[in-house]
Protein backbone atom coordinates (compact mmCIF):
# COMPACT_ATOMS: atom_id res chain seq x y z
CA UNK A 1 0.00 0.00 0.00
CA UNK A 2 1.02 3.60 -0.55
CA UNK A 3 0.30 6.35 1.99
CA UNK A 4 0.26 9.83 0.46
CA UNK A 5 -0.29 11.84 3.66
CA UNK A 6 1.98 11.48 6.72
CA UNK A 7 3.63 13.73 9.29
CA UNK A 8 6.58 11.41 9.57
CA UNK A 9 9.53 13.82 9.39
CA UNK A 10 10.59 14.73 12.93
CA UNK A 11 10.78 18.32 14.12
CA UNK A 12 8.94 20.07 11.27
CA UNK A 13 5.39 20.19 12.63
CA UNK A 14 3.06 18.54 15.16
CA UNK A 15 3.85 15.07 13.80
CA UNK A 16 6.71 12.82 14.89
CA UNK A 17 8.51 14.36 17.90
CA UNK A 18 11.85 12.64 17.40
CA UNK A 19 13.76 10.41 15.02
CA UNK A 20 13.04 7.49 17.35
CA UNK A 21 9.30 8.08 17.16
CA UNK A 22 9.44 8.52 13.39
CA UNK A 23 11.29 5.22 12.98
CA UNK A 24 8.82 3.47 15.29
CA UNK A 25 5.98 4.83 13.11
CA UNK A 26 7.60 3.45 9.97
CA UNK A 27 8.02 0.02 11.59
CA UNK A 28 4.30 -0.07 12.37
CA UNK A 29 3.47 1.10 8.85
CA UNK A 30 5.62 -1.61 7.28
CA UNK A 31 4.04 -4.28 9.50
CA UNK A 32 0.62 -3.04 8.31
CA UNK A 33 1.60 -3.48 4.66
CA UNK A 34 2.63 0.06 3.71
CA UNK A 35 5.62 0.10 1.35
CA UNK A 36 5.74 3.71 0.19
CA UNK A 37 4.98 6.84 2.17
CA UNK A 38 4.88 10.47 1.10
CA UNK A 39 6.19 12.78 3.84
CA UNK A 40 3.77 15.72 4.00
CA UNK A 41 4.65 18.12 6.83
CA UNK A 42 2.24 20.99 7.43
CA UNK A 43 3.00 24.28 5.72
CA UNK A 44 0.97 27.08 7.32
CA UNK A 45 2.09 30.71 7.18
CA UNK A 46 3.10 31.95 10.62
CA UNK A 47 2.84 28.49 12.20
CA UNK A 48 4.82 25.96 10.16
CA UNK A 49 6.78 27.93 7.57
CA UNK A 50 8.46 24.83 6.13
CA UNK A 51 10.26 25.69 2.89
CA UNK A 52 10.88 23.22 0.08
CA UNK A 53 14.54 23.19 1.06
CA UNK A 54 13.83 22.49 4.74
CA UNK A 55 11.54 19.57 3.87
CA UNK A 56 13.94 18.08 1.34
CA UNK A 57 16.85 18.30 3.79
CA UNK A 58 14.82 16.68 6.59
CA UNK A 59 13.78 13.96 4.15
CA UNK A 60 17.40 13.16 3.26
CA UNK A 61 18.28 12.85 6.95
CA UNK A 62 15.30 10.58 7.48
CA UNK A 63 16.15 8.36 4.53
CA UNK A 64 19.62 7.90 6.01
CA UNK A 65 18.10 6.80 9.33
CA UNK A 66 15.76 4.36 7.55
CA UNK A 67 18.69 2.79 5.74
CA UNK A 68 20.75 2.65 8.92
CA UNK A 69 17.93 0.76 10.63
CA UNK A 70 17.15 -1.57 7.69
CA UNK A 71 13.52 -0.47 7.47
CA UNK A 72 12.14 -1.45 4.04
CA UNK A 73 10.11 1.67 3.36
CA UNK A 74 10.45 4.21 0.58
CA UNK A 75 9.72 7.77 1.69
CA UNK A 76 9.02 10.41 -0.95
CA UNK A 77 8.88 14.21 -0.73
CA UNK A 78 5.71 16.23 -0.33
CA UNK A 79 3.95 18.69 1.96
CA UNK A 80 0.45 19.56 3.16
CA UNK A 81 -0.38 23.16 2.35
CA UNK A 82 -3.04 25.12 4.20
CA UNK A 83 -5.26 26.82 1.63
CA UNK A 84 -4.08 30.43 1.46
CA UNK A 85 -4.88 33.00 -1.22
CA UNK A 86 -1.27 33.18 -2.48
CA UNK A 87 -0.83 29.45 -3.08
CA UNK A 88 -1.02 29.82 -6.88
CA UNK A 89 1.61 32.56 -6.88
CA UNK A 90 3.89 30.55 -4.63
CA UNK A 91 3.57 27.60 -7.00
CA UNK A 92 4.52 29.78 -9.97
CA UNK A 93 7.61 30.95 -8.06
CA UNK A 94 8.67 27.32 -7.62
CA UNK A 95 8.28 27.43 -3.84
CA UNK A 96 5.91 24.51 -3.34
CA UNK A 97 6.59 20.82 -2.98
CA UNK A 98 4.12 18.70 -4.94
CA UNK A 99 3.58 14.98 -4.25
CA UNK A 100 6.90 13.24 -5.01
CA UNK A 101 8.05 16.62 -6.36
CA UNK A 102 6.38 15.55 -9.62
CA UNK A 103 4.68 18.86 -10.42
CA UNK A 104 1.27 17.19 -10.78
CA UNK A 105 -0.51 16.88 -7.40
CA UNK A 106 -0.57 19.22 -4.41
CA UNK A 107 -1.99 18.16 -1.03
CA UNK A 108 -4.12 21.04 0.29
CA UNK A 109 -6.03 21.30 3.57
CA UNK A 110 -8.77 23.78 4.31
CA UNK A 111 -8.97 25.61 7.63
CA UNK A 112 -10.88 23.23 9.95
CA UNK A 113 -14.13 25.16 10.34
CA UNK A 114 -14.96 26.27 6.81
CA UNK A 115 -14.25 26.16 3.10
CA UNK A 116 -13.04 29.66 2.16
CA UNK A 117 -14.74 31.37 -0.79
CA UNK A 118 -11.36 31.79 -2.47
CA UNK A 119 -10.89 28.00 -2.72
CA UNK A 120 -12.38 27.91 -6.24
CA UNK A 121 -10.09 30.71 -7.46
CA UNK A 122 -6.93 29.26 -5.88
CA UNK A 123 -7.68 25.78 -7.23
CA UNK A 124 -8.21 27.29 -10.68
CA UNK A 125 -4.82 29.02 -10.47
CA UNK A 126 -3.13 25.75 -9.48
CA UNK A 127 -4.90 23.83 -12.24
CA UNK A 128 -3.89 26.42 -14.85
CA UNK A 129 -0.32 25.51 -13.96
CA UNK A 130 -1.02 21.81 -14.49
CA UNK A 131 -1.29 20.99 -10.80
CA UNK A 132 -4.29 19.07 -9.40
CA UNK A 133 -5.19 19.84 -5.78
CA UNK A 134 -5.87 16.86 -3.53
CA UNK A 135 -8.17 18.02 -0.73
CA UNK A 136 -6.96 16.55 2.57
CA UNK A 137 -9.61 14.91 4.79
CA UNK A 138 -12.78 16.78 3.72
CA UNK A 139 -14.77 14.61 6.16
CA UNK A 140 -13.07 16.46 9.01
CA UNK A 141 -13.84 19.94 7.69
CA UNK A 142 -16.98 21.53 9.12
CA UNK A 143 -17.71 23.32 5.83
CA UNK A 144 -17.78 20.15 3.73
CA UNK A 145 -19.68 18.25 6.45
CA UNK A 146 -22.40 20.92 6.50
CA UNK A 147 -22.52 21.26 2.75
CA UNK A 148 -21.22 18.24 0.78
CA UNK A 149 -22.15 20.14 -2.39
CA UNK A 150 -19.02 22.26 -1.85
CA UNK A 151 -16.90 19.12 -2.21
CA UNK A 152 -18.90 18.03 -5.24
CA UNK A 153 -18.30 21.44 -6.85
CA UNK A 154 -14.53 21.24 -6.38
CA UNK A 155 -14.19 17.59 -7.46
CA UNK A 156 -16.41 18.13 -10.50
CA UNK A 157 -14.01 20.94 -11.49
CA UNK A 158 -11.04 18.57 -11.41
CA UNK A 159 -9.84 18.46 -7.79
CA UNK A 160 -9.42 15.14 -5.97
CA UNK A 161 -9.82 14.24 -2.32
CA UNK A 162 -8.30 12.05 0.38
CA UNK A 163 -10.04 10.76 3.47
CA UNK A 164 -8.23 9.74 6.65
CA UNK A 165 -8.06 6.02 7.48
CA UNK A 166 -9.13 6.67 11.09
CA UNK A 167 -12.29 8.43 9.88
CA UNK A 168 -13.42 5.40 7.94
CA UNK A 169 -12.68 2.95 10.75
CA UNK A 170 -14.59 5.09 13.28
CA UNK A 171 -11.58 6.13 15.38
CA UNK A 172 -12.30 9.79 14.68
CA UNK A 173 -15.92 9.52 15.77
CA UNK A 174 -19.21 8.43 14.24
CA UNK A 175 -19.84 11.74 12.45
CA UNK A 176 -16.51 11.55 10.58
CA UNK A 177 -17.19 7.88 9.77
CA UNK A 178 -20.64 8.60 8.36
CA UNK A 179 -19.33 11.51 6.34
CA UNK A 180 -16.34 9.55 5.01
CA UNK A 181 -18.71 6.81 3.82
CA UNK A 182 -21.06 9.29 2.19
CA UNK A 183 -18.20 10.95 0.30
CA UNK A 184 -16.85 7.53 -0.75
CA UNK A 185 -20.20 6.33 -2.03
CA UNK A 186 -20.71 9.50 -4.05
CA UNK A 187 -17.34 9.17 -5.77
CA UNK A 188 -15.74 12.24 -4.18
CA UNK A 189 -12.76 10.32 -2.75
CA UNK A 190 -9.80 8.92 -4.67
CA UNK A 191 -7.36 8.24 -1.82
CA UNK A 192 -7.27 6.93 1.74
CA UNK A 193 -4.21 7.98 3.73
CA UNK A 194 -3.16 7.81 7.36
CA UNK A 195 -2.38 11.48 8.11
CA UNK A 196 -0.11 9.77 10.67
CA UNK A 197 1.05 12.10 13.44
CA UNK A 198 2.46 9.65 15.98
CA UNK A 199 3.17 6.01 16.68
CA UNK A 200 0.45 5.73 19.33
CA UNK A 201 -2.61 3.58 18.99
CA UNK A 202 -5.09 6.18 17.95
CA UNK A 203 -6.98 7.95 15.27
CA UNK A 204 -3.95 9.03 13.30
CA UNK A 205 -1.68 6.02 13.64
CA UNK A 206 0.33 4.95 10.56
CA UNK A 207 -2.14 2.21 9.59
CA UNK A 208 -4.12 1.68 6.38
CA UNK A 209 -5.11 -2.01 6.16
CA UNK A 210 -8.30 -1.86 8.22
CA UNK A 211 -9.56 1.22 6.39
CA UNK A 212 -8.79 -0.45 3.05
CA UNK A 213 -10.88 -3.48 4.14
CA UNK A 214 -13.72 -1.15 5.09
CA UNK A 215 -13.55 0.66 1.73
CA UNK A 216 -13.53 -2.71 -0.06
CA UNK A 217 -16.73 -3.68 1.80
CA UNK A 218 -18.39 -0.47 0.69
CA UNK A 219 -17.17 -0.10 -2.85
CA UNK A 220 -16.20 -3.62 -3.84
CA UNK A 221 -12.78 -5.17 -3.71
CA UNK A 222 -11.13 -3.54 -6.74
CA UNK A 223 -12.40 -0.02 -6.27
CA UNK A 224 -11.89 -0.07 -2.50
CA UNK A 225 -8.30 -1.30 -2.72
CA UNK A 226 -7.47 1.16 -5.49
CA UNK A 227 -7.72 3.98 -2.92
CA UNK A 228 -4.56 2.72 -1.19
CA UNK A 229 -2.81 1.08 -4.19
CA UNK A 230 -3.49 2.03 -7.81
CA UNK A 231 -4.61 5.64 -7.24
CA UNK A 232 -1.75 6.68 -4.95
CA UNK A 233 0.63 4.86 -7.27
CA UNK A 234 -0.60 6.95 -10.18
CA UNK A 235 -0.31 10.09 -8.04
CA UNK A 236 3.34 9.52 -7.14
CA UNK A 237 4.09 8.80 -10.81
CA UNK A 238 2.32 12.02 -11.84
CA UNK A 239 -0.29 10.15 -13.89
CA UNK A 240 -3.98 11.01 -14.18
CA UNK A 241 -6.37 9.74 -11.50
CA UNK A 242 -10.00 9.49 -12.58
CA UNK A 243 -12.91 10.86 -10.57
CA UNK A 244 -16.62 10.37 -11.31
CA UNK A 245 -18.47 12.39 -8.68
CA UNK A 246 -22.23 12.03 -8.42
CA UNK A 247 -24.00 15.36 -8.43
CA UNK A 248 -24.98 16.64 -5.01
CA UNK A 249 -28.18 18.59 -4.85
CA UNK A 250 -27.94 21.16 -2.13
CA UNK A 251 -30.49 20.78 0.64
CA UNK A 252 -30.67 24.51 1.33
CA UNK A 253 -31.60 25.30 -2.24
CA UNK A 254 -34.32 22.63 -2.29
CA UNK A 255 -35.76 24.00 0.94
CA UNK A 256 -35.73 27.50 -0.53
CA UNK A 257 -37.69 26.49 -3.65
CA UNK A 258 -40.13 24.47 -1.57
CA UNK A 259 -40.77 27.49 0.58
CA UNK A 260 -41.41 29.67 -2.49
CA UNK A 261 -43.72 27.08 -4.00
CA UNK A 262 -45.90 26.98 -0.89
CA UNK A 263 -46.64 30.67 -1.05
FE1 LIG B 1 -2.12 16.19 7.77
The residue among 2, 7, 1 whose CA lies nearest residue 199 is 7
Is the model's pTM score more than 0.85? yes
Q: How far is the CA of 31 from the centre of ligand 1 (A)?
A: 21
Grouping H, G, I as helix, E, B as strand and the rest as coil, residue 109 is: strand
Q: How far is the CA of 119 from the centre of ligand 1 (A)?
A: 18
Q: How far is the CA of 65 from the centre of ligand 1 (A)?
A: 22
Which tens digits make up the pLDDT trace of 151-190? 999 999 999 999 999 999 999 999 999 999 999 999 999 9
Q: How far is the CA of 70 from the centre of ligand 1 (A)?
A: 26
User: Mean pLDDT in the chain?
Assistant: 94
Asked if the model's pLDDT at residue 254 lies above 70, the reply is no
Q: How far is the CA of 195 from the centre of ligand 1 (A)?
A: 5
Contacts of 208 (CB under 8 A, 6+ apart): 1, 3, 29, 32, 33, 34, 165, 192, 193, 194, 228
Q: How far is the CA of 263 from the centre of ligand 1 (A)?
A: 48
State the sign of the Cα–Cα–Cα–Cα dihedral 10, 11, 12, 14: positive
Which tens digits make up the pLDDT trace of 124-159? 999 999 999 999 999 999 999 999 999 999 999 999
Q: How far is the CA of 242 from the centre of ligand 1 (A)?
A: 23
Contacts of 233 (CB under 8 A, 6+ apart): 2
**Structural domains of the chain in order of their starting residue, each with its CATH number:** 2-262 (3.20.20.140)
Grouping H, G, I as helix, E, B as strand and the rest as coil, residue 63 is: helix
Q: How far is the CA of 257 from the centre of ligand 1 (A)?
A: 39
Packing angle, helices 19-32 and 52-68, rounded to 10: 70
**Can you give the pLDDT at residue 259?**
60
Residues in the chain: 263
Which tens digits make up the pLDDT trace of 9-38? 999 999 999 999 999 999 999 999 999 999
Q: How far is the CA of 80 from the centre of ligand 1 (A)?
A: 6
Amino acid sequence: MIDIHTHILPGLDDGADSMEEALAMTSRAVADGIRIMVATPHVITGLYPNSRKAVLEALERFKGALQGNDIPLTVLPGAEYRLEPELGERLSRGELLTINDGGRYLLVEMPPMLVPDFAVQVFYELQLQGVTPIIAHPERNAGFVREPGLLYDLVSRGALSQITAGSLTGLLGSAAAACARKFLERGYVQFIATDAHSGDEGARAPLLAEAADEAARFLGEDQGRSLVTANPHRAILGKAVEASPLEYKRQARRAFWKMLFRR
